[in-house]
C-alpha cells in the first residue's frame, strides 16, 4: 500500500507518484503510471530500479546482511541442510520433520533423467565448456516432460520445480563425466542431495562409492550459500523469460546462460585462474595496479559487488568452509589459499578498494574450495547454477502465483535516425 506520494513536475504535468514502504530496506516510488502521460524513466543496469515486489531474499549491501525468508545466511548454512533451505525458499517457512521427509522423497523420486538424454550429450565435443552442455540439456528437459507444462496450474508449476531441482545435479554430474569420457553414475536414493551429487561426480559404476561426509557437508553449504540472491542478473533473466509464459525448463536455461558471464557466476572460475596467474605474493602489487588501471580491462575477480558495499556474508562462511576442506584433504593452507588470504588483506587496506567499498564476494573462496575437492574450474559455474536453480524456481513460482504479473517489456530512449525514405541501391553514393 502507498504510504505517501512523491511529486514529479515535468512538461506541464505535476504528478503524484505512490511511495511503497518495504518491511526491510528502502521504499520505492511507483512510476508505472508515468506511461499514461507519455513519460518514461531510464536506468541502465537497473541501479535504482526495483523490477518487482518479492518476499524471498533480502540483502543489506551496506551492512553485509543476507536473509532467506528472514533467516541469516550464516545460521542457515550452519544449522540446516540444503533441502531444508530449498523448502524454505520455495514455500516461505522452514519444514518440520514430516514436511522435510516428504520434500526429500519428492525430490529423490525425480533424480533420474529420460534415458534418451544420454544420447543428447553425445552430440557435444568432449572438450567444450560444460556450461554449454548444461544450458542445452536443461532446455531439452522441456521436450521430455510434457505432462506438467501448463504453467497456469499450480500443481504443474510445482511438479516441474521438483523435477528441475532433482535433475540439475544429475545433469551437472553428467557434464563432468562426459567431459572426461567416464561412465555416468546413476543417482542413489539412500544418499542426501549433496552426497548424491558427489557420488555421481566422483563415483564409478564399477564399485560402491564412499562419499566423504566432510566434503558432502561442505558441498551442502556451498549449495545453500549460492541458492538465491534476490534480483541478480540471472534471476532477472529467469523472471523475464517466465513472464512470457515460456516453460520452466526454458526459463531455467535462460538463467544458466546469464549466470555464465565472468561478471556474474563465472567469477569463481575466473578468480581461481587469476590466483594461479598471480602465482606468488610478490606479484600481488603488480596485479592490484592492473585492477586499478582504467586502461586495463583486468578486474580483481571475486572482489566487488553491485549491492554489497561491505563484506559479502557468504564470503565469511565460504572462507571457513574452505579451511575445513583444505584440512580434510590434507592440503593444509595451500599456497593458493595463503595467496588469497594475503591478496584479500592487501586489497582491504588499499585506498582504491576502500574508497569504492570493494570487498571479497562469495566467489573469492569458492573456487579454492572446489579446487581442493578435486573439481576442475570449468565445473565451478555449473555448481553455482545447480545451487541457484532453487532460487530461480522460487522467483519463477512467486511471479507466476501473482495474477497481476505482466510480460516484461522495458521501453527505451531512442536517439537514432529520424524517419527518412529508402534510396534505391543504384542511387546510393
In the complex with ligand SDX, the residue whose CB is nearer, 159 or 361, is 361
Q: Which of 356, 401, 402, 410 binds ligand SDX (CB under 6 A)?
A: 356
Residue placing its CB nearer to ligand SDX in the complex, 179 or 257: 257
CA triple 192-197-203, angle to 5 deg: 110
What SS3 state is found at 205? coil
Q: Which of 81, 228, 363, 395 is catalytic?
A: 363
Q: How far is the CB of 67 from ligand SDX (least distance, A)?
A: 14
Helix, coil or strand: residue 383: helix
Does residue 382 sit in helix, strand or coil? helix
* Residue tagged active-site, from 110, 226, 229, 305: 305
Q: Which residues of 136-172 are buried (b: 16+ CB within 10 A; e: fewer)?
A: bbbbbbbeebeebbebeeeebbbbbbbbbbbbbbbbb
Between 110 and 305, name the residue whose CB sits nearer to ligand SDX: 305
405 noted as active-site residue = no
Element (H, E) at 10: strand 2-10
Instruction: Decide if residue 24 touches ligand SDX (CB under 6 A).
Output: no
Residue 73 C-beta: closest distance to ligand SDX, Å: 11
- Cα 299 from Cα 292, distance rounded (Å): 8
Region from 86-94, 247-255, 299-307, 336-344 binding ligand SDX, contact rule CB under 6 A: 299-307
Cell of 408: 516484461
Site string for ligand SDX, 253-272 (x = CB under 6 A): ----------xxx-x-----
**In contact, 345 and 364? CB cutoff 8 Å:** no
Nearer to ligand SDX, 68 or 178 (CB): 68
> Known catalytic residue: 363?
yes
C-alpha dihedral (40, 45, 46, 51), degrees to nearest 10: 100
Interface region with ligand SDX, contact rule CB under 6 A, candidates 86-94, 196-204, 243-251, 298-306: 298-306
Q: Is there binding between residue 237 and ligand SDX (CB under 6 A)?
A: no
Report the catalytic residues.
305, 363
Name the residues that contact ligand SDX, by CB under 6 A. 229, 232, 263-265, 267, 291, 299-306, 356, 358, 361-363
Amino acid at each position: 500500500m502507498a504510504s505517501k506520494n512523491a511529486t514529479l513536475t515535468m512538461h506541464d504535468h505535476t504528478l503524484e507518484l505512490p511511495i511503497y514502504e518495504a518491511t526491510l530496506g528502502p521504499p520505492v516510488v511507483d512510476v508505472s503510471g508515468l506511461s499514461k502521460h507519455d513519460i518514461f524513466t531510464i536506468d541502465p543496469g537497473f541501479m535504482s530500479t526495483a523490477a518487482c515486489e518479492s518476499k524471498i531474499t533480502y540483502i543489506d549491501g551496506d551492512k553485509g546482511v543476507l536473509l532467506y525468508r528472514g533467516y541469516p545466511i550464516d545460521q542457515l548454512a550452519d544449522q540446516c541442510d540444503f533441502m531444508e533451505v530449498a523448502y524454505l525458499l520455495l514455500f516461505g517457512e522452514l519444514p518440520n520433520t514430516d514436511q522435510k521427509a516428504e520434500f526429500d522423497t519428492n525430490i529423490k523420486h525425480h533424480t533420474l533423467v529420460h534415458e534418451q538424454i544420454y544420447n543428447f550429450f553425445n552430440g557435444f565435443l568432449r572438450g567444450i565448456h560444460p556450461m554449454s552442455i548444461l544450458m542445452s540439456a536443461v532446455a531439452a528437459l522441456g521436450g521430455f516432460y510434457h505432462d506438467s507444462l501448463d504453467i497456469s496450474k499450480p500443481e504443474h508449476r510445482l511438479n516441474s520445480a521438483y523435477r528441475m531441482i532433482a535433475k540439475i545435479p544429475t545433469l551437472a554430474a553428467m557434464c563432468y563425466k562426459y567431459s572426461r569420457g567416464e561412465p555416468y553414475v546413476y543417482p542413489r536414493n539412500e544418499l542426501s542431495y549433496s552426497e548424491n551429487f558427489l557420488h555421481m561426480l566422483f563415483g564409478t559404476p564399477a564399485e560402491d562409492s564412499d562419499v566423504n561426509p566432510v566434503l558432502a557437508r561442505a558441498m551442502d553449504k556451498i549449495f545453500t550459500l549460492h541458492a538465491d540472491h534476490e534480483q541478480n542478473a540471472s534471476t532477472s533473466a529467469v523472471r523475464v523469460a517466465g513472464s512470457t509464459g515460456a516453460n520452466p525448463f526454458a526459463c531455467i536455461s535462460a538463467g544458466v546462460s546469464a549466470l555464465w558471464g565472468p561478471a556474474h557466476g563465472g567469477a569463481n572460475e575466473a578468480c581461481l585462474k587469476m590466483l594461479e596467474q598471480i602465482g606468488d605474493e610478490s606479484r600481488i602489487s603488480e596485479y592490484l595496479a592492473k585492477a586499478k588501471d582504467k586502461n586495463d580491462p583486468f578486474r580483481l575477480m571475486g572482489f566487488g559487488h553491485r549491492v554489497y558495499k561491505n563484506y559479502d556474508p557468504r564470503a565469511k562462511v565460504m572462507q571457513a568452509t574452505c579451511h575445513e576442506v583444505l584440512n580434510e584433504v590434507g592440503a593444509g593452507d595451500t599456497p593458493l589459499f595463503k595467496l588469497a588470504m594475503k591478496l584479500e588483506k592487501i586489497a582491504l587496506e588499499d585506498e582504491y578498494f576502500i574508497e569504492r567499498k570493494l570487498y571479497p564476494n562469495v566467489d573469492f573462496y569458492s573456487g579454492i574450495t572446489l579446487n581442493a575437492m578435486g573439481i576442475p574450474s570449468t565445473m565451478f559455474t555449473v555448481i553455482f547454477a545447480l545451487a541457484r536453480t532453487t532460487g530461480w524456481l522460487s522467483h519463477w513460482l512467486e511471479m507466476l502465483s501473482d495474477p497481476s504479473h505482466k510480460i516484461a517489456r522495458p521501453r527505451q530512449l531512442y536517439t537514432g535516425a529520424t524517419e527518412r525514405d529508402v534510396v534505391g541501391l543504384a542511387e546510393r553514393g
